[in-house]
Chain A
Amino acid sequence: MSDTPSHEPGKSIMPKWVRGPQDFIGGIALMAVAVFALWASSDLQGMHGFSFGAGTAPWMFATLLLGLGAAVAVMGLVQDGAAMQAFSWRGPLFVSLAILCFAVSIRPLGLIVSGLASFLISALGTPETRWIETIIVGVLLTIGCALLFPYVLGLPMPLFPSFIAQ
């Protein structure tokens, strides 16, 4: 997967000859993904005769992406384009943490603990959260999900922490 590079928001760290930083960086990042994919699929068998090996299609698409990424980057050089947009950290950080928390804790701790914890963590993503109402809504939502998914929809998932359920 591509690492999502985060750049300093707003500040023009780009040299003057980059006329469209948004496209320039975007293109470079795509090229990086392509190079990474080429490396990752380099151990796969290529064409033998006229039949495709496992690595042929990945090689084709990655090469194509490399070219297109380069083209996008070049467009960022020759054409005046949009500046970098500001990236904020609070929303992405806490939403990611909430997702991570859910993924890590659903098996050992069960839906009720894990769901509520993720709810509260993601609520940190905005400074506008009012905690009392957030906690009330979080508890209600967790109860709702605990009834909806395992019982109404019949999807198997642990509800309670495994050390209690045992």
Chain B
Amino acid sequence: MADLFHNLILGFGVAVSPTNLMLCLIGALVGTLVGVLPGIGTIATVAMLLPITFGLPPVGALIMLAGIYYGAQYGGSTTSILVNIPGEATSVVTTLDGFQMAKQGRAGPALAIAAIGSFIAGCAATVLIAVLGAPLTKLALAFGPAEYFSLMVLGLIFAVVLAKGSVLKAIAMIVLGLLLSMVGSDIETGASRMSFNIPELADGLGFATVAMGVFGFAEIIRNLDAGASMDRDLVQQKITGLMPTKKDMMDSLPAIGRGTVLGSILGILPGGGAVIASFAADTTEKKISKNPEKFGRGAIEGVAAPESANNAAAQTSFIPLLTLGIPPNAVMALMVGAMTIHGIVPGPQVMQKQPDLVWGMIASMWIGNLMLIIINLPMVGIWVRLLRVPYRLMFPSIVVFCAIGIYSINNAPVDVILAGAFGLLGYWLIKHDFEPAPLLLGMVLGPLMEENLRRALLISRGDWSVFITRPLSAVLIAAAVGLLVLAVLPALRKKRDEVFVESEG
């Protein structure tokens, strides 16, 4: 316990330095700004803003990125409530009740409760990270290559089970990602693989490049299909009375509590917890509510629960990254990219060798959440005005901004072309109903998986049974197989599809 407080104090000491506070604030602000734009999700936002953190010292850069991440999340909910267009997958369910509330002239309370819920969830998740961080790091030290490999298999299976649509196609996307990650130099022999003597490919495909292509450019192209004047149901009423009433608070507090718990648990699991957390929280609220018919008609619990859940999950998803070095979802994968650029290899060693960095970031998460409440509530008016910018002006700006961003990562024009190619690939994937998120996760985990597989087999002298004879590894593999079986079982499949269908309705 003393350790915990000591760590938190160290963290806050780092985070409240004026520079870092400033960076956290800028990150949260810019993140919200971009996240508010409809059609740009969290992944694209983080990928797009990655370059602006390059010039900073590592701690500052990570604090700013974390701020961008929450900002983007929060911006996404603002869009769902005010325009009925979810800025990103995690706020899909928020649109159901949030937009109805806005139509009834209660946009203010809806936005406020989303912020308050996120803040409460954020506080709980911060404490959880601090509590679980140290013991999990110790566990991580007991992990050998076989365990790491099995854990990553489990994580990928999670991503598959939680992805929308066909399990088979999601697995195919992961494997495509793994294959793409093989491009470049082999880490052990240095042999150049599938790079066709193109010098820019010798280092492999950068995943910021791929992410920007598949999530940024592809989304833009897809949106253009529908016509630039997207159907925007922008709430016309003036937003008055931000503060929720006492009854609102009483109604939503238990929902926030449940959402937080659900989100924290689902977030730790590798494989994209935030999305499923918000769905699960909404479904739970409906199930236990005394009058479930009010959901979809502007129930404040329908905003409070999913918003707290997705924020809690967004934060606890840092746990596997910081302790095991395994990114549980695509945004965390980008974080790994950012850390690598600053010469930090995420994993158990970071916790021990650079405690100021880890704890500074954890503390800044809490501060970032607080800032979101403070800056967002008074700035709602500005966000609304931003939403009125027509898409025909917005999309060329995004294209140029993304292009500059990609170029600035390596000062390589080839990267920009590659991102464009991946944009077309992403467009094609969308048209064939393939989910791009598992692809990105596969791409990040590919080199890690290969390395650990190689080592495990080298240690066992080529004996593949090592993955099931080492107890910890066996448990992880068994969990992965069990999950996969469950996912393809007809009964559960139907349930899972229902959850997603509901969200689209």
B420 at the interface (CB under 8 A from A): yes
The reply to whether B403 and A99 contact each other, CB–CB distance below 8 Å, is yes
B399 at the interface (CB under 8 A from A): yes
The reply to whether A91 and B221 contact each other, CB–CB distance below 8 Å, is yes
**Contacting residue for B224 out of A88, A149, A155, CB 8 A:** A88
How many angstroms between the C-alpha atoms of A145 and B399 in the bound complex? 12
A127-156: which have CB < 8 Å to B? Answer: 128-130, 133-134, 137-138, 141-142, 145, 149, 153-156
B345 at the interface (CB under 8 A from A): no
Instruction: Output the least CB separation between A51 and chain B (Å).
Output: 6
B176 at the interface (CB under 8 A from A): yes
How many angstroms between the C-alpha atoms of A21 and B341 in the bound complex? 42
Pick the most buried of A49, A61, A153, A155: most chain B CB atoms within 10 A of its CB: A61
Main secondary structure, interface of B, reads helix
How many angstroms between the C-alpha atoms of A49 and B414 in the bound complex? 38
**Contacting residue for B169 out of A34, A65, A72, CB 8 A:** A72
Interface size class of B (residues with CB under 8 A): 35 or more
Hey, which chain B residues are within 8 Å of A138, CB to CB?
A: 396
Say yes or no: A126-B227 contact (C-beta < 8 A), given A51-B454, A155-B54, A157-B411: yes
A27-66: which have CB < 8 Å to B? Answer: 27, 29-30, 33-34, 37, 40-41, 44-45, 49-55, 57-58, 61-62, 64-65
The reply to whether B416 and A99 contact each other, CB–CB distance below 8 Å, is yes
**Contacting residue for B172 out of A30, A153, A157, CB 8 A:** A30
The reply to whether A102 and B52 contact each other, CB–CB distance below 8 Å, is no
How many angstroms between the C-alpha atoms of A123 and B220 in the bound complex? 12
Chain B: CB-nearest residue to A58: B182
How many angstroms between the C-alpha atoms of A118 and B413 in the bound complex? 14
Pick the most buried of B179, B413, B434: most chain A CB atoms within 10 A of its CB: B179
Annotate B190-203 by CB proximity to A: 1 below 8 A, 0 otherwise: 01011010000000
Chain A: CB-nearest residue to B189: A54
The reply to whether B189 and A53 contact each other, CB–CB distance below 8 Å, is yes
Q: Which residues of A does B touch, CB under 8 Å? A: 1-2, 4-5, 22-23, 25-27, 29-30, 33-34, 37, 40-41, 44-45, 49-55, 57-58, 61-62, 64-65, 68-69, 71-72, 75, 82, 84-88, 90-92, 95-96, 98-100, 102-104, 106-107, 111, 115, 118-120, 122-123, 125-126, 128-130, 133-134, 137-138, 141-142, 145, 149, 153-157
Leading 10 A-B pairs by shortest Cβ distance: A50-B462, A91-B224, A99-B420, A54-B191, A26-B432, A103-B416, A54-B186, A126-B228, A68-B172, A103-B413
9 A-B pairs whose Cβ atoms sit less than 8 Å apart in the complex: A1-B422, A4-B424, A34-B179, A55-B193, A95-B224, A103-B413, A122-B395, A126-B395, A128-B392
